[in-house]
Amino acid sequence: MKEDLHQELVKNYIPYESDVWFPQEVVEANVVRGDSLLKAWREHLGLTQAEVARHAGMSQPAYAKLEKPDANPRTATLRKIARALGISFEQLTD
């Protein structure tokens, strides 16, 4: 059931034009609170670290390290996480 909710959210949040789109909640978490975009998107989508990690093919502790503001994940890792979240790569990097 949670998977269905995730898929429904993904349908509503993927932009159809070339501009990169961010929900206000994600922007506030990133800019005001200082959360990483990984954490801001995950929380916005209502997912746990374990759920994102499982969909991205990594352990929860490894994923948790990537959510730290000073983390510098590789491009390939960000692409896997973007797919797991159902968002574009650009929404994690812009």
Mean pLDDT over 54-64 rounds to 98
Residue 10 — very low, low, confident or very high, per pLDDT cuts 50/70/90? low
Residue 16 DSSP one-character state = S
Size of the chain, expressed as the number of residues it contains: 94
Q: CB-based contacts of 52: which residues, under 8 Å, 6+ apart? A: 42, 63, 81, 84, 85
Residue 15 lies inside a defined structural domain of this protein: no
Mean pLDDT over 33-47 rounds to 95
Mean pLDDT over 63-79 rounds to 96
Which pLDDT score, from 0 to 100, does residue 18 have? 52
Mean pLDDT over 46-51 rounds to 97
Domain containing 81 equals 2-10+20-93
Determine the residue type at 36: S
47: left (phi over 0), alpha (psi -120 to 50) or beta: beta
Tell me how far apart the alpha carbons of residues 13 and 49 are, in angstroms, rounded to a whole number. Answer: 19
- Counting the structural domains of the chain, the total is 1
